[in-house]
């Protein structure tokens, strides 16, 4: 049975998971965070270093760094961990669609990221060895085209596709997102055995709760997810999701996050002055 340790980043409400095979000490890190202060333009590796420290305490060998998708709410620590550990970095194969959508947003560059910035482009049904265990890949698009769920033993790491039952589901209004596709992906997850443990990529506190949690089950999601419990039709879900998405602001870190995360968590190359810059595209409100 796989072992698990979770790391909650309060600044971005993100959960990183360290999963390992206790027999061989082979490990995977799912959705690592690179800390970023947008007001100061300052990066740090406190969150990622905590994962490394925990792995060292357990005498683990990190074989895989896995992102569930190109996150829009935090910078990925995947490339930092890859360089530290030598692990292979994987993401859903449709990341190329996300890159194609967002690269033009940040202007002309001599270093245009493509599929090669990742070591592995994972497709539905792919498997990766985790010591004596196995990581299975389930393609679960809708939030983004590249979203995947990682299945290990009785655990499903769903990224942003599902949240805790009292919070609901991911938005579907990013480029390439689609509410109907999201509904069908969620039902792929809900078709797993009812006792499957579901680990979400974020937790946000609804009014009914004051403690952060990130583990639930397929049975609990089917019985009580406020957006997509048993009995909710695709039509009703899409109507709700599209109406709700129209009320949502862009994530606070979407612009710095995306230009780093489509590079697998690596920063853009330094400019002529030797400094690294993250771009902020500007639009005039109401301009033609």
Task: Specify the residue for token string 């942003």.
Answer: 160
> CB-based contacts of 250: which residues, under 8 Å, 6+ apart?
none
Using a 10 angstrom Cβ sphere, with 0-12 exposed, 13-18 middle and 19 or more buried, the burial of residue 22 is middle
Tell me the three state secondary structure of residue 70. coil
Architecture in CATH for domain 3-261: 4-Layer Sandwich (3.60)
Rounded mean pLDDT of the chain? 95
Model pLDDT for residues 222-239, shown as the tens digit of each residue: 999 999 999 999 999 999
pLDDT at 287 over 90: no
Among 34-43, 166-175, 256-265, 278-287, which is the least confidently predicted range? 278-287
pLDDT of res. 114: 87
Using a 10 angstrom Cβ sphere, with 0-12 exposed, 13-18 middle and 19 or more buried, the burial of residue 53 is exposed
Convert 114-167 into a string of H (helix), E (strand) and C (coil).
Answer: CHHHCCEEECCCCEEEECCEEEEEEECCCCCCCCEEEEECCEEEEECCECCCCC
For residue 286, name the pLDDT band (cuts at 50, 70, 90). Answer: confident
* Contact in structure between 248 and 192 (CB atoms under 8 Å): no
Q: Strand 14-20's sheet: what is its strand order?
A: 3-9, 14-20, 26-30, 61-66, 88-92, 120-122
pLDDT at 142 over 70: yes
Model pLDDT for residues 33-74, shown as the tens digit of each residue: 999 999 999 999 999 999 999 999 999 999 999 999 999 999
The percentage of residues in the chain with a pLDDT greater than 90, rounded to a whole number, is 89
* CA distance linking residue 97 with residue 106, whole number of Å: 16
* CA distance linking residue 257 with residue 268, whole number of Å: 12
- Nearest Cα residue to 156 out of 42, 52, 17: 17
Model pLDDT for residues 157-166, shown as the tens digit of each residue: 999 999 999 9
pLDDT at 288 over 60: no
Beta-bridge partners for 126: none
* CA distance linking residue 200 with residue 216, whole number of Å: 8
Among 45-49, 254-258, 282-286, which is the least confidently predicted range? 282-286
* CA distance linking residue 65 with residue 63, whole number of Å: 7
Domain ranges across the chain: 3-261
Name the residue with higher pLDDT: 139 or 283: 139
Cβ atoms within 10 Å of 138's Cβ, excluding its own: 22
CA 87 vs. chain centroid, Å, equals 18
Q: What is the value of pTM for the model shown? A: 0.95
Name the residue with higher pLDDT: 207 or 146: 146
Task: Record the tokens describing residue 149, joined without a space.
Answer: 């769920």
């Amino acid at each position: 049975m796989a072992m698990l340790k979770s790391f909650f980043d309060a600044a971005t409400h993100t959960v990183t998971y360290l999963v390992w095979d206790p027999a061989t000490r082979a490990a995977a890190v799912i959705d690592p965070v690179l800390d970023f202060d947008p007001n100061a333009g300052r990066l740090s590796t406190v969150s990622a270093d905590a994962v490394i420290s925990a792995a060292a305490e357990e005498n683990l060998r990190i074989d895989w760094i896995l992102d569930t998708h190109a996150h829009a709410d935090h910078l990925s620590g995947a490339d930092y961990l890859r360089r530290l550990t030598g692990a292979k970095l994987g993401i859903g194969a449709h990341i190329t669609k996300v890159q194609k959508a967002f690269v033009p947003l940040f202007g002309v560059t001599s270093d245009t990221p493509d599929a090669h910035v990742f070591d592995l482009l994972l497709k539905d049904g792919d498997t990766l060895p985790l010591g004596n265990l196995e990581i299975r890949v389930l393609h679960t698009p809708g939030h983004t085209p590249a979203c995947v769920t990682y299945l290990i033993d009785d655990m499903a790491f769903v990224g942003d596709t599902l949240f805790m039952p009292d919070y609901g589901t991911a938005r579907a209004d990013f480029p390439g997102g689609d509410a109907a596709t999201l509904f069908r992906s969620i039902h792929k997850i809900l078709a797993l055995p009812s006792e499957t443990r579901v680990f979400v990529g974020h937790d946000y506190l609804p009014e009914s709760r004051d403690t952060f949690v990130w583990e639930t089950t397929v049975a609990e999601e089917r019985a009580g997810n406020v957006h997509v419990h048993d009995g909710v039709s695709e039509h009703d879900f899409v109507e709700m999701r599209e109406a709700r998405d129209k009320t949502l602001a862009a994530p606070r870190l979407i612009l710095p996050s995306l230009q780093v995360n489509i590079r697998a968590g690596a920063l853009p190359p330094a400019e002529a002055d030797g400094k690294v810059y993250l771009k902020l595209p500007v639009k005039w409100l109401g301009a033609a």
